[in-house]
Structure 1
Amino acid sequence: MIRFDDVTLSVPVPGPPGQPWGTKTLLDGITLDLPERRVALVGANGSGKSTLLRLINGLSTATAGRVEVDGIDPARDGKQARRRVGFVFTDPLSQLVMPTPLEDVELSLRAKIRDRTERRRAALGLLAARGLAQVAEQSIYDLSGGERQLVALTAVLAVEPSVLVADEPTTLLDLRNRIAFRRLIAELPQQMVIATHDLDLAADADRVLIVDQGRVVADGTASETLAHYERMMV
């Protein structure tokens, strides 16, 4: 269970010349229980979607209130939270830190599999299961956008998180790869929380939240909430 209990997140901002700094509220009084298997967040750029996601694994810390993931507070025990919560970024190049897909997945497995030969074999198996065996030892810069996103997802899933958080994961993908990504995540057993502008992806969710100016302004099934969101944008 992911829980937000009256969560607010504010950041300091500079005031006018010669004046003290002020604050900007990015999230304001968020209270949610998220037990559903698939949850989507939609909203305009700057609405607070990504900030809310980053609280789930401790990449950001609330200034008030409490966040819990299966009873763990990411702000107090970020290491434990990140064992449970995998994070997929918009741009996979921001999280692929090794030269090749094989080395990146091996890095994810290092804590779990100490023997280097066994670790390499396991990494190759995971890449093959995603249809990436043929690019395992290519430079990540020679891969397509879809292949990079699959590699990033494979590396995150290698540590077997119970929750997967994805921040606009289809933004850089073409139509073919967006469809493939939707099919892939539909089969995953993990609970997923996804921030997205891709309304087709959001429509697959069990629950959709609209975030606007740091608040959740609508919450319900995909059909009713997305219809409301489209009216808001018009």
Structure 2
Amino acid sequence: MQLASPTETGLRLDRAAYGVGGRAILQDISLHLTEQRIAILGPNGSGKTTLLRLMAGLIAPTTGRVTVDGIEPATNRRAMLGAIGILFQNPEHQIIFPTVEEELAFGLKQMGRGADEARAAARATLAAHGRGHWAAAPVATLSQGQKQFLCLLAVLAMAPGTILLDEPFSGLDLPTQIRLARRLAALPQRLVTITHDPAVVTGYNRAIWLEGGRVRADGPAADVVEAYRAEMNRLGSLDADADLAG
């Protein structure tokens, strides 16, 4: 197998844009992401989740190019199964099977494993994380935090090199957030975390600030986070409703 060149490794976006119905959502995004911990910051509506979906290959760019280790994810989804995983904000949008074991085995079967092998690997994954007793449990009996952890286990079972996280702590109570943050911090994979909360990405290597579908800032995470926080504080000090008609 031919190895990707140094310029092809990691996630690359070359003047990537995306729009729907003539409305531009992302415009002229050029990034080469190779760091271990990367944050994508921005307020609601800035295009963060659309950018994540482009990286994952769930949608194709309207113009430009997106590659993961030299492969276009939107045109080769099978190759991406072992390269990139995604943890959505709401686990209900990710879980599709009635039992925990079935949910974990699905991705492994998509990667080409037989049904028995996939089930055995699913049980091994649960046992390795102290959740062997979950195997036959109906997903509906899990708490929100447990469902989020199940989705993470489903991603980890496929051993991707990069994991995309879309507001992973949204909707979780504080103890569950702390537990999930501890597990994520210990992972060897590259993490790309989409968030509007700069506190989530403390200690990250790099941050990209999206504003109106464009990159407003890109650099060391501490510097970008400081500038982003200052601007959010400035906006928060304004009376946003002052220009509305009475």
Fold shared per TM-score above 0.5: yes
2:98 counterpart residue number? 99
2:148 counterpart residue number? 149
TM-score, normalization by structure 2: 0.85
1:2 counterpart residue number? 11
1:84: how far off? 1.3
Amino acid at match of 1:80: A
Distance in 2 between the 1:51 and 1:209 partners?
Answer: 14
State the identity %: 39
Partner secondary structure for residue 216 of structure 1: strand
Compared CA separation, residues 66 and 168, structure 1 to 2 (3 A): same
Alignment length (residue pairs): 223
Does 46-55 or 221-230 show the bigger shift? 221-230
Amino acid at match of 1:2: L
Contact 1:210–1:218 (CA under 8 A) maintained in structure 2 = yes
2:31 counterpart residue number? 32
Compared CA separation, residues 136 and 223, structure 1 to 2 (3 A): same
Amino acid at match of 2:65: R
1:115: how far off? 5.2
Partner secondary structure for residue 113 of structure 2: coil
Amino acid at match of 1:44: P
State the Cα deviation string for residues 202-234 of structure 1 (Å, max 9, x = none). Answer: 113211111110011111222221111111112
1:112: how far off? 4.3
Distance in 2 between the 1:49 and 1:31 partners?
Answer: 14
State the Cα deviation string for residues 157-215 of structure 1 (Å, max 9, x = none). Answer: 21111111111111121111111111111121211111013423211321111111001
Q: CA RMSD in A?
A: 1.6
Contact 1:132–1:147 (CA under 8 A) maintained in structure 2 = no
1:80: how far off? 1.9
Residues 1:45 and 2:44 aligned together: yes
TM-score, normalization by structure 1: 0.89
1:54: how far off? 0.6
Distance in 1 between the 2:207 and 2:45 partners?
Answer: 18
Contact 2:204–2:221 (CA under 8 A) maintained in structure 1 = yes
Partner secondary structure for residue 82 of structure 2: helix
1:15 counterpart residue number? none
Matches within 5 A, 1:68-107: 68-107=67-106
User: Which stretches of structure 1, 4 residues or more, deviate above 4 A after TM superposition?
Assistant: none
2:114 counterpart residue number? 114
1:186 counterpart residue number? 185
Residues 1:214 and 2:213 aligned together: yes
Contact 1:10–1:24 (CA under 8 A) maintained in structure 2 = yes
2:201 counterpart residue number? 202
2:172 counterpart residue number? 173
Amino acid at match of 2:114: R
Compared CA separation, residues 221 and 47, structure 1 to 2 (3 A): same
Contact 2:95–2:151 (CA under 8 A) maintained in structure 1 = yes
